[in-house]
Amino acid sequence: MSLFQEYFIDTLKNNYANFDGRARRSEYWYFVLFYMLLFIGFGIIAGIGGAMEIPAISVIALALIGITALALLVPTLALVVRRLHDTDKSGWFILIQLIPFGGIVLLVFMCLDGTPGANKYGPNPKEIGNGASSSDHLLEV
Protein backbone atom coordinates (compact mmCIF):
# COMPACT_ATOMS: atom_id res chain seq x y z
CA MET A 1 0.00 0.00 0.00
CA SER A 2 1.41 3.40 -0.94
CA LEU A 3 1.97 6.18 1.58
CA PHE A 4 -0.60 8.30 -0.26
CA GLN A 5 -3.26 5.63 0.09
CA GLU A 6 -2.32 4.71 3.64
CA TYR A 7 -2.13 8.20 5.11
CA PHE A 8 -4.31 10.40 2.90
CA ILE A 9 -7.02 8.31 1.27
CA ASP A 10 -7.58 6.07 4.30
CA THR A 11 -7.78 9.11 6.58
CA LEU A 12 -10.42 10.62 4.32
CA LYS A 13 -12.29 7.36 3.87
CA ASN A 14 -12.16 5.92 7.40
CA ASN A 15 -11.73 8.96 9.67
CA TYR A 16 -13.42 11.81 7.76
CA ALA A 17 -15.18 13.24 10.83
CA ASN A 18 -13.71 11.02 13.55
CA PHE A 19 -12.75 13.23 16.48
CA ASP A 20 -12.30 10.26 18.85
CA GLY A 21 -9.14 8.30 19.45
CA ARG A 22 -5.54 9.08 18.67
CA ALA A 23 -3.45 9.75 15.55
CA ARG A 24 0.26 9.04 15.17
CA ARG A 25 2.70 11.71 14.06
CA SER A 26 3.27 9.88 10.78
CA GLU A 27 -0.46 9.88 10.04
CA TYR A 28 -0.64 13.63 10.66
CA TRP A 29 2.52 14.69 8.84
CA TYR A 30 1.95 12.51 5.76
CA PHE A 31 -1.59 13.88 5.52
CA VAL A 32 -0.19 17.42 5.71
CA LEU A 33 2.44 16.58 3.07
CA PHE A 34 -0.12 15.29 0.56
CA TYR A 35 -2.50 18.14 1.44
CA MET A 36 0.20 20.70 0.67
CA LEU A 37 1.31 18.92 -2.52
CA LEU A 38 -2.29 19.00 -3.71
CA PHE A 39 -2.54 22.75 -3.14
CA ILE A 40 0.88 23.42 -4.64
CA GLY A 41 -0.21 21.51 -7.75
CA PHE A 42 -3.39 23.60 -8.05
CA GLY A 43 -1.32 26.75 -7.49
CA ILE A 44 1.09 25.80 -10.26
CA ILE A 45 -1.82 25.20 -12.63
CA ALA A 46 -3.28 28.59 -11.69
CA GLY A 47 0.11 30.21 -12.27
CA ILE A 48 0.53 28.55 -15.65
CA GLY A 49 -2.94 29.76 -16.64
CA GLY A 50 -2.00 33.28 -15.60
CA ALA A 51 1.35 33.17 -17.41
CA MET A 52 -0.30 31.89 -20.59
CA GLU A 53 -2.96 34.58 -20.24
CA ILE A 54 -5.76 32.03 -20.16
CA PRO A 55 -7.84 33.26 -17.24
CA ALA A 56 -10.25 30.31 -17.42
CA ILE A 57 -7.49 27.92 -16.30
CA SER A 58 -6.58 30.19 -13.39
CA VAL A 59 -10.21 30.59 -12.35
CA ILE A 60 -10.84 26.84 -12.49
CA ALA A 61 -7.66 26.08 -10.51
CA LEU A 62 -8.52 28.69 -7.88
CA ALA A 63 -12.06 27.33 -7.65
CA LEU A 64 -10.62 23.84 -7.15
CA ILE A 65 -8.41 25.20 -4.36
CA GLY A 66 -11.45 26.64 -2.60
CA ILE A 67 -13.59 23.53 -3.07
CA THR A 68 -10.77 21.26 -1.90
CA ALA A 69 -10.09 23.43 1.15
CA LEU A 70 -13.76 23.24 2.14
CA ALA A 71 -13.93 19.49 1.49
CA LEU A 72 -10.82 18.83 3.58
CA LEU A 73 -11.69 21.19 6.46
CA VAL A 74 -13.52 18.63 8.62
CA PRO A 75 -11.02 15.76 8.18
CA THR A 76 -8.13 18.14 8.84
CA LEU A 77 -9.73 19.41 12.06
CA ALA A 78 -10.52 15.83 13.10
CA LEU A 79 -6.93 14.75 12.46
CA VAL A 80 -5.52 17.67 14.48
CA VAL A 81 -7.85 16.81 17.38
CA ARG A 82 -6.83 13.14 17.26
CA ARG A 83 -3.17 14.18 17.12
CA LEU A 84 -3.71 16.35 20.22
CA HIS A 85 -5.35 13.37 21.89
CA ASP A 86 -2.20 11.34 21.18
CA THR A 87 -0.19 13.85 23.21
CA ASP A 88 -2.83 13.57 25.99
CA LYS A 89 -4.27 17.02 25.35
CA SER A 90 -7.88 17.98 24.84
CA GLY A 91 -9.05 18.68 21.30
CA TRP A 92 -10.00 22.16 22.49
CA PHE A 93 -6.28 23.02 22.38
CA ILE A 94 -6.87 23.59 18.66
CA LEU A 95 -8.24 27.00 19.69
CA ILE A 96 -4.79 28.01 20.93
CA GLN A 97 -4.22 29.23 17.36
CA LEU A 98 -6.47 32.18 18.12
CA ILE A 99 -3.96 33.79 20.48
CA PRO A 100 -0.68 35.39 19.35
CA PHE A 101 2.01 32.77 18.70
CA GLY A 102 -0.54 30.03 19.42
CA GLY A 103 0.09 28.53 16.00
CA ILE A 104 3.71 27.93 16.99
CA VAL A 105 2.58 26.22 20.20
CA LEU A 106 0.18 24.03 18.21
CA LEU A 107 3.00 23.16 15.80
CA VAL A 108 5.11 22.03 18.75
CA PHE A 109 2.21 19.87 19.98
CA MET A 110 1.98 18.27 16.53
CA CYS A 111 5.71 17.43 16.69
CA LEU A 112 5.62 15.85 20.15
CA ASP A 113 5.64 12.09 20.49
CA GLY A 114 2.44 10.52 21.74
CA THR A 115 2.10 9.40 25.32
CA PRO A 116 3.28 5.82 25.77
CA GLY A 117 0.61 3.27 26.54
CA ALA A 118 -3.09 3.98 26.70
CA ASN A 119 -4.36 7.37 27.80
CA LYS A 120 -7.88 8.68 28.40
CA TYR A 121 -8.40 9.01 24.63
CA GLY A 122 -7.61 5.40 23.77
CA PRO A 123 -4.80 2.92 23.22
CA ASN A 124 -1.48 3.97 21.76
CA PRO A 125 -1.73 3.66 17.95
CA LYS A 126 1.92 2.61 17.76
CA GLU A 127 1.18 -0.42 19.91
CA ILE A 128 -1.97 -1.29 17.97
CA GLY A 129 0.01 -1.42 14.72
CA ASN A 130 2.55 -4.00 15.85
CA GLY A 131 0.35 -5.95 18.27
CA ALA A 132 2.70 -5.52 21.21
CA SER A 133 2.53 -3.31 24.24
CA SER A 134 5.42 -1.46 25.84
CA SER A 135 5.42 -3.90 28.75
CA ASP A 136 6.02 -6.80 26.31
CA HIS A 137 9.44 -5.38 25.47
CA LEU A 138 10.46 -5.49 29.14
CA LEU A 139 9.70 -9.20 29.30
CA GLU A 140 12.03 -10.01 26.40
CA VAL A 141 15.22 -9.19 28.35
DSSP string of 87-106, one letter each residue: TT--GGGGGGGGSTTHHHHH
DSSP assignment of 1-34 = --HHIIIIIHHHHH-TT--SS---HHHHHHHHHH
What's the distance, CA 107 to chain centroid? Answer: 12
The predicted structure's pLDDT at residue 37: 94
If one compares 126 and 19, the residue with the highest pLDDT of the two is: 19
Q: How many domains does the chain have?
A: 1
pTM across the whole model: 0.82
Tell me the residue range of the domain where 26 lies.
Answer: 3-139
Q: For residues 39 and 68, is the Cβ–Cβ distance under 8 A?
A: yes
CB 22 within 8 A of CB 82: yes
| Partners of residue 122 on adjacent β-strands | 119
Residue type, 66: G
Using alpha carbons, select from 19, 8, 38, 14 the residue that is nearest to residue 81.
19
> How high is the pLDDT of residue 130?
53
Query: 35, 76 in Cβ contact below 8 A?
Result: yes
Within a 13 Å sphere around the CA of 109, how many CA atoms are in the beta-carbon half? 26
How do residues 83-111 score in pLDDT, each as one tens digit? 999 999 999 999 999 999 999 999 999 99
